[in-house]
Amino acid sequence: MVRLFAATLAALTLASAARAEDAAKVPTPADTYQELFHQVQTRRIFPDGKTFVDAVPRRAPAKIMADYRAHARFSDAELKRFVRANFIVPQAGAAPKPTAKRTALKAHIAGLWPHLTRPPVKPVAGGSALAMAKPFVVPGGRFREIYYWDSYFTMLGLKADGRDDLVDNMIDDFGGLIETYGHIPNGARTYYLSRSQPPFFYAMVGLSAATDPKTIKARVDLMRREHAFWMDGSDDLKPGEAHRRVVAMADGGVLNRYWDDRATPRDESYREDLETAAKSQRSPAEVFRDLRAGAESGWDFSSRWMADGRSLATIQTTSIVPVDLNSLMFGLEKAISAGCAQLADADCVREFEGRATARAEAIDFYLWDAAKGAYLDYQWTTGQRLDHLSAATFYPLFVGATDEHKAHVVAQKAWDELLAPGGLRTTTVRTGQQWDTPNGWAPLQWVAVSGLRRYGEDALAAEIAKRWLATVTREYKASGKMLEKYDVEEAKAGGGGEYPTQDGFGWTNGVTRALMEMK
């Protein structure tokens, strides 16, 4: 029976990988609306490039396009009127208006969950929203749909506030995406289907209180399907080759990279990507692919991905084997092994324990830099470790893929270079990109604090948590808002990036609430 189960699941994972490639062929707004889309985005009819791609057509797309093509030329004003007449144009999700008298921060966060919770979604033909079977929580602001890695950190706060119902709903919604598309997309939109995000699904499952064997089996199956997505093509690679999200290293070991199955401008950042490609000396398709891969990383954008460490035009994401992704893949492999142990599937346990052990050894060999005292990304195309210190160095601690000595060295490095007055710096470089200093981000605070506590580095963990909570509290008292990111140098609202700092905000609420409970 165990062997039959393993063989059946192997077939399912192959089918899952095939579905993931097919998902990249699902029409996006750029595919559906073609020259109309190009004109709306390049002429900046709406200030935010995400507005039009989230719009819902009022009638059949073919009829809209026929009417558009019947006109020789539109002025900007006429084009905007045409779009509003033919589409329901979304507005940013409104957070509760701040009042002069602030409620306690814990109560404020609890009050935000209903404002960020959305009902099940039934897609509209020609729209970009994907089906969602159960209620879910969105980040807020311009982010109107569920997002992959954001949701784990949001769920930490839901768990702390006793909202296990929403935690399980969101796990089931993500499971539905894996069932349908073979992976969890960046977000629940057609234009996100060609990429994923840092694989935190296994960690979400770990937050669930479910103990039913049937549920455990279903979720282990889903984790194995996600693993197949990330490892697609790994069996056929020779050293120095790459395929989609896998790279065969010089010694034959396999690690992962970020990727996107399309090599076109992102629908939601179409104009910006065209402008970046125009500044580069490389093939536009290569630049687009690297920009998209940077979006899959969640760090969009950061000096981590730039060849010169400064300019977005030099982005090289697909040439990099990243610390965070490979640490999370180790975590996924350990979680699958543990789940298979509960199911008494010895073959599966043996396979994934072996995969996790091999990955931990590769992380140690390629990504650990003893001289620098940190885990660093690796440029597989040149065989060089990149000297870009970032908060990603904490990921091996977060997943338990390191030892106590290295954890101590990382902690010392963080005391010296990554700890800022208002929390943990993202990097040590100022580029104007949002995933560089002076910005700090809630998920990275949590990864660091959790990882440090795992290895007994409680003093630094407590200091990061204290400084971060002080920053969030200070801004909340000043503006009444929970923000997407913060300037941890000056303990104020963060900045930089492709869009204004968003209010809401799912993962800030979740991490802040969870840190409040940490003893």
**Which of 401, 397, 261 lies closest to 318 in space, CA to CA?**
261
State percent of the chain over pLDDT 70: 95
Catalytic site positions: 300, 484
| Residue 75 neighbours by CB under 8 Å, 6+ apart | none
Pairing relation of β-strands 320-321 and 378-379?
antiparallel
Residue ranges with strand state E in 6-96: 56-57, 87-88
What's the average model confidence in pLDDT over 325-336?
99
- Taking the C-alpha atoms of residue 302 and residue 311, their distance in angstroms, rounded to an integer, is 9
R_g over Cα of the chain: 22
Structure tokens at 480: 């009444």
For the stretch 440-473, pLDDT in tens is 999 999 999 999 999 999 999 999 999 999 999 9
Q: What is the pTM of this model?
A: 0.95
**Does the domain at residues 18-212 carry the CATH identifier 1.10.10.10?**
no
Q: What's the per-residue H, E or C state across 271-340?
A: HHHHHHHHHCCCCHHHHHHHHHHHHHHCCCCCHHHECCCCCHHHECHHHEECHHHHHHHHHHHHHHHHHH
Mean pLDDT of the chain: 95
What's the average model confidence in pLDDT over 180-207?
98
Structure tokens at 202: 């296994």
CA atoms within 13 A on the CB side of 337: 15
For the stretch 354-403, pLDDT in tens is 999 999 999 999 999 999 999 999 999 999 999 999 999 999 999 999 99
Burial of 179 per CB tally in 10 Å (0-12, 13-18, 19+)? middle
DSSP bridge partners of 149? none
Band the pLDDT of 18: cuts 50, 70, 90: low
Q: What are the phi and psi torsion angles at 503 (to 5°)?
A: -105, 145
Provide the 10 A C-beta neighbour count for residue 343: 16
For the stretch 500-511, pLDDT in tens is 888 899 999 999
What's the average model confidence in pLDDT over 201-229?
97
For the stretch 292-314, pLDDT in tens is 999 999 999 999 999 999 999 99
What's the average model confidence in pLDDT over 313-321?
98
What's the average model confidence in pLDDT over 55-67?
98
Residue 218 has pLDDT above 80, yes or no: yes
Band the pLDDT of 12: cuts 50, 70, 90: very low
Provide the 10 A C-beta neighbour count for residue 67: 14
Residue 4 has pLDDT above 70, yes or no: no
What's the average model confidence in pLDDT over 305-334?
98
Band the pLDDT of 497: cuts 50, 70, 90: confident
Query: Amino acid identity of 166?
Result: L
What's the average model confidence in pLDDT over 124-152?
97
Q: What is the DSSP string of 478-519?
A: HHS--BS-EETTTTEE---SSSPPPBS-HHHHHHHHHHHH--
For the stretch 252-288, pLDDT in tens is 999 999 999 999 999 999 999 999 999 999 999 999 9
Provide the 10 A C-beta neighbour count for residue 282: 14
What's the average model confidence in pLDDT over 114-131?
97
Residue 1 has pLDDT above 50, yes or no: no
141 three-state secondary structure: strand
What's the average model confidence in pLDDT over 109-113?
96
Band the pLDDT of 343: cuts 50, 70, 90: very high
Band the pLDDT of 22: cuts 50, 70, 90: confident
What's the average model confidence in pLDDT over 413-418?
98
**Which of 76, 77, 90, 71 lies closest to 29 in space, CA to CA?**
90
pLDDT top residue among 301 and 2: 301
In the chain, which segments carry CATH 1.50.10.10? 18-212
Residue 3 has pLDDT above 70, yes or no: no
Q: What are the phi and psi torsion angles at 118 (to 5°)?
A: -120, 150
25 three-state secondary structure: coil
- Taking the C-alpha atoms of residue 331 and residue 339, their distance in angstroms, rounded to an integer, is 12
For the stretch 23-59, pLDDT in tens is 878 999 999 999 999 999 999 999 999 999 999 999 9
Residue 8 has pLDDT above 50, yes or no: no
**Which of 315, 286, 283 lies closest to 299 in space, CA to CA?**
315
**Which of 333, 400, 362, 349 lies closest to 254 in space, CA to CA?**
362
For the stretch 420-437, pLDDT in tens is 999 999 999 999 999 999
